[in-house]
Amino acid sequence: MDDSIGVKIKKLRKDRKLTLKQVSDKTNLSISFLSQVERLKSSITLESLKRVSEALDVNPSYFFSDPEKKTKSTVIRNALNDLNNRPNSFIYKDLTSNIENPLFTPFLVMLKPGDNKGSSYSHKGQEFLYVLEGTLTILMDDEEYDLYPSDCMYLDSTTPHNWMNKTGSDVKFLCISSITI
């Protein structure tokens, strides 16, 4: 994940006059973890970033945008190919491309065999998932749903949920998330 995310979290937290303890209380993330993220000693997952975004009252896309490059429209070419060139096992690419204050955040996600996005959790907003390749397993409360290429699912993000890849092949899917603040 981009190193500037930790720097942006710290700046935003300080601008809002919040302590690490206050952000920790709002996110259920440890003070030491938040401090490590801010000092670029640890990376942050999408799940944790969403929690921090809610605590700081911003859309998660804020952390991926370049303040110098605000645009109203954009074209991203060959976005799927870019996922294959990344070494991480759980990979996501923000597709907002520096749109200022987006109403929703599209992510291109790839899960390697056996990966998941972490433990089930809930957050404000809604999600739309569209499978491009492979079999994506969704855990909602205690029920599992398998989604195949061209399958989609719309879910209320306040219900505890998790994505996982239980297969031996990569799974690629589009996640469009709205976070209401």
Domains of the chain: 4-58 (1.10.260.40), 79-178 (2.60.120.10)
Q: Collapsing DSSP states into helix, strand and coil, what is residue 111? A: strand
Query: The pTM is what?
Result: 0.61
Are the C-beta atoms of 135 and 171 separated by less than 8 Å?
A: yes
Q: Write the pLDDT tens digit of every residue in 66-121.
A: 555 555 555 555 555 555 554 445 566 777 766 666 778 888 888 888 877 667 77
Would residue 24 be called left, alpha or beta, if left means φ above 0 and alpha means ψ between -120 and 50 degrees?
Answer: alpha
